[in-house]
Amino acid sequence: MAENASQNPLSRRELEVLEMVATGASNQEIARQLVISVNTVKVHLRNIFEKLEVQSRTEATRRALQEGWITLDEPDTPTEPVSAGTNTFILPADTQTLNRRQAVYLLLALLVAAGYLVFTLLPFAAPQVRPDLPVIYGQPTPSAPKNGGSSDWKILTAMPTRRAGLAAAVLDGKVFAIGGIRANNQPTRLVEIFDPAANTWSEGAARPTAATDFQAAVVGKKIYTPGGCTSSGQALDTLEIYSPPADAWTTGASLPAPRCGYALAVYSDTLYLFGGWDGEQFTDTVFVYHPDQNRWDTLDTHLPRPKGYAGAAVLDNAIYVVGGYNGQEEFAETHRFLPGSGQWEERASLHEKRGGLGLVAAAGKLYAIGGGWSTPAQTVEKYDPAIDEWTSFDPPFSRHWRNMGLAVGEVQIFALGGWDETDQEFLDSVVSYRFLYQLFLPISTFK
């Protein structure tokens, strides 16, 4: 194996994988030879593609050969197989023995397998299921969104960075896309700013902490972003506050406990944070933040059930909490929370179960967009509080879409990025839905 330390960006293990790719070995063959899992091979390939800025195994092989990072040996003279009795595998002479590292891996694998066998035979209580956080297993390929049947959806300029689990907010006519998880399966600090009037993107000051699965709330001229999660599912208790006029971040009071995957809404210039993941389990807590006092409180009231990845929005002096996911199942339920009394009221359920949805209130209605953890939501749903009823209409495109950023402007709803479960990729698409049309009538003066 040839290596050039001054130019070669690949690790030794990645070079081993790429050298086997160059011989035409499949992922299964590479995994078997290196005593690693097939998923680990896929991760190595993803990192190789990203480091070499290529899209295929062929391109990666060609680049490595040209740079001299790997070499292809001439095939050896075939080894004559030795005779073997029944139930004996015939192996080439150079693979009869395992090297020390392979032997250690093999021993560990046998111990794990034996432990698993014993564990499955013993009675035990059902464990807490960790959330199925959006994770990419492959290289995304650029693709245009598929138009739905509604002309009210409009495809806008794509985000510079593909990501899901991001926070979105609208302030002074600009759309802010903050944080999230991106194609290297790592949280990002990115702040990208969309100008709908010019249909262009710019970049703002990066968030101090890289995180995913958090939301943003606007109070005054500031954007509040509580908590979030690391790529391993560790929840954070930070509160980071962005000032677009100053293009600068400050830190607020820490949350009462770490949270990500929560639902967030602003009522009377106060942040209400519902449920979410605390790093170990889904919760039913309600946290309240007072920006003028930089203080968090924990309310005595609780969500009707522990869950995360729900949507929250303010409508008619109440906060609606809709959908959600608890690590085992997702929900179609709608609950109305009354901040004054702390009471919960049940309302009409969604037509489809939605975990990882986006929810906004606009023109006296609720809009539930995307979601569906195990089964993709086929529609967008609109709620009318006057008749307590959800109605459905076409989404902007047909894909298994969740964990997008969603924000509402004066006349449009903006949906940014997200996770496409069908194609296993992060999205850079930006679409808007126009919920309000302004009609100007000419005025004539008659004499």
Confidence tier at 51 by pLDDT (50, 70, 90): confident
Angstrom distance (rounded) from CA 124 to CA 423: 36
Helix H or strand E segment including 40: helix 38-52
- Reply yes or no on whether the pLDDT at 129 is more than 70: no
Is 218 within 8 Å of 231 (Cβ atoms)? no
Angle at 108 between CA 107 and CA 112, to 5 degrees: 120
Domains of the chain: 1-74+100-116 (1.10.10.10), 153-434 (2.120.10.80)
Q: How many helices (H) and strands (E) does the chain have?
A: 5, 29
Lowest average pLDDT, out of 128-142, 239-253, 287-301, goes to: 128-142
**Higher confidence at residue 394 or residue 51?**
394
Lowest average pLDDT, out of 104-108, 157-161, 321-325, 332-336, goes to: 104-108
**Higher confidence at residue 435 or residue 257?**
257
Q: How far is CA 76 from the centre of its chain?
A: 47
| pLDDT at res. 355 | 95
Residues 237-247: what's their mean pLDDT? Answer: 97
- Reply yes or no on whether the pLDDT at 446 is more than 90: no
Name 425's bridge partners.
420
**Higher confidence at residue 13 or residue 207?**
207
What angle separates helix 57-67 from helix 12-22, to the nearest 10 degrees?
110
- List pLDDT tens digits, range 418-436: 999 888 889 999 999 998 8
- List pLDDT tens digits, range 161-188: 999 999 999 999 999 999 999 977 889 9
Confidence tier at 4 by pLDDT (50, 70, 90): very low
Q: Give the DSSP letter of residue 170.
A: E
| pLDDT at res. 113 | 60
Confidence tier at 24 by pLDDT (50, 70, 90): confident
- Reply yes or no on whether the pLDDT at 155 is more than 90: yes
- Reply yes or no on whether the pLDDT at 104 is more than 80: no
| pLDDT at res. 145 | 40
Angstrom distance (rounded) from CA 355 to CA 325: 5
Confidence tier at 140 by pLDDT (50, 70, 90): very low
Task: For residue 316, give every residue at least 6 positions away whose Cβ sits within 8 Å of its Cβ, in sequence order, or none.
Answer: 364, 385
Mean residue pLDDT across the chain: 82
Rg of the chain taking only CA atoms, in angstroms: 26
**Higher confidence at residue 259 or residue 4?**
259
What is the percent of the chain with per-residue pLDDT over 90, rounded to a whole number?
57
Please tell me whether residue 118 adopts helix, strand or coil conformation.
helix
Task: Report the 3 state secondary structure along 267-331.
Answer: ECCEEEEEEEECCCCEEEEEEEEECCCCEEEECCCCCCCCCECCEEEEECCEEEEECCECCCCEC
| pLDDT at res. 291 | 98
What is the percent of the chain with per-residue pLDDT over 70, rounded to a whole number?
78
